[in-house]
């Protein structure tokens, strides 16, 4: 693991974890039904759900977009390398699991700076015998460090898919656009940018209510228009592939989102609303539910 991350002292990791303040990766984990979060994260997720009761569909469809995009890149474009920045906590399925089903020797580097993610990073390194995975403990705002560390695992002479999925709305404009350009500039021709981003274009009342719950907790939370999302591609001289920058559930929809096993109704009745989310079938999504744009760009 890059940067000797796995060798870090567990006590030092615990000191880095602030359980008094919600963290985006852990709130995301709550919506995905994960266990690696704290009461403050569950409170933030519950507040967001109260503001937008079907807001879990944004999170779950964002994750399903990642499944579809990685699958398309390996099966149709032959991409064999992935750099996933802002990875978040391990969940089913991670990029290397999706990619290595088709290309067993695919290589994946995960990047995050949350100590909780680092503490669970071993789950991201369970590569198949032919492939390779690595984890870089680095901040999105340190692109040179990310590139330097990723180059220990990835071949920057061959195409790489850079995944920036649900991360850029936590970064202000003056940093977000230059950082994306720097990361893309380091990639060779034939590489891809996989990107998703929250917006107020689609259902503004719902997402603005959610935005308030996050900004009250000290998060940077930037909602960008379609044109502003497209700018991440155009400023990096990328060609956006079909179907363009679209609401996330419309990006090459295959109606194959995983359906969780649903427990007995008597059990569900005893759960609070945020706990019920993990058992929801997201295939009943409508345009009125979604506040996320998604797209993939090609570097010529």
Backbone angles phi, psi at 199, to 5 degrees: -145, 155
What is the torsional sign of CA 63, 232, 1, 15? negative
Q: What b-and-e string marks burial along 27-40, b requiring 16 or more CB atoms within 10 Å of the CB?
A: bbbbbbbbebbbeb
Q: Find the mean pLDDT for residues 271-297.
A: 92
With cut-offs at 50, 70 and 90, classify the pLDDT of residue 8: low
Q: Considering the entire predicted model, what is its pTM?
A: 0.91
**61, two tokens:** 């469809």
Structure-token match 């797209």, residue found: 295
**Which distant-in-sequence residues (6+ apart) come within 8 Å of 8 by Cβ?**
118, 137
- Report the 10 Å Cβ neighbour count for 242: 9
pLDDT digits (tens, 9 = 90+) for 51-76: 999 999 999 999 999 999 999 999 99
* 266 secondary structure, DSSP code: H
pLDDT digits (tens, 9 = 90+) for 114-159: 888 887 777 677 777 888 899 999 999 999 999 999 999 999 999 9
Q: pLDDT-based confidence at 10, cuts 50/70/90?
A: low
Gap between the Cα atoms of 43 and 298, Å rounded? 39
The predicted-structure confidence for 164-181, as pLDDT tens digits, reads as follows 999 999 999 999 999 999
Torsion-angle region of 172 (φ positive above 0: left; ψ -120 to 50: alpha; else: beta): beta
Q: How confident is the model at residue 2 (pLDDT cuts 50, 70, 90)?
A: very low
Q: Are 194 and 225 in contact (CB under 8 A)?
A: no
What local confidence, expressed as pLDDT, does residue 143 receive?
A: 97
Percent of the chain scoring above 70 in pLDDT: 94
SS3 annotation, 118-157: HHCHHHHHCCCCCCEEEEEECCCCCHHHHHHHHCCCCCCC
């Amino acid at each position: 693991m890059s940067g000797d991350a796995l060798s870090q002292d567990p006590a030092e990791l615990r000191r880095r974890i602030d359980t008094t303040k919600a963290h985006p990766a852990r709130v995301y984990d709550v919506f995905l039904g994960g266990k690696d979060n704290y009461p403050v994260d569950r409170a933030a997720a519950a507040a967001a759900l109260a503001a937008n009761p079907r807001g879990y569909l944004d999170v779950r469809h964002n994750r399903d977009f990642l499944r579809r995009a990685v699958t398309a890149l390996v099966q149709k474009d032959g991409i064999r390398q992935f750099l996933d920045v802002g990875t978040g906590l391990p969940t089913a399925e991670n990029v290397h699991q999706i990619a290595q089903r088709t290309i067993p020797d695919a290589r994946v580097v995960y990047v995050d700076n949350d100590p909780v993610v680092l503490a669970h990073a071993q789950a991201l390194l369970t590569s198949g015998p032919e492939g390779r995975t690595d984890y870089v403990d680095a901040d999105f705002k340190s692109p040179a460090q990310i590139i330097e560390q990723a180059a220990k695992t990835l071949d920057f002479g061959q195409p790489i898919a850079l995944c920036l999925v649900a991360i850029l709305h936590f970064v202000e404009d003056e940093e977000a656009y230059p950082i994306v350009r720097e990361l893309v500039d380091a990639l060779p021709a034939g590489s891809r940018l996989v990107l998703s981003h929250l917006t107020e274009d689609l259902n503004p009342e719902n997402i603005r209510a959610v935005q308030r719950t996050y900004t009250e907790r000290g998060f940077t939370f930037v909602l960008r228009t379609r044109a502003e999302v497209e700018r991440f591609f155009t400023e990096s001289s990328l060609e956006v592939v079909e179907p363009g920058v679209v609401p996330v559930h419309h990006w090459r929809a295959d109606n194959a989102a995983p359906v969780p096993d649903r427990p007995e109704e008597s059990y569900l009745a005893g759960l609070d609303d945020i706990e019920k989310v993990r058992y929801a079938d997201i295939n009943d999504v409508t345009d009125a539910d979604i506040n996320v744009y998604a797209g993939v760009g090609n570097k010529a």
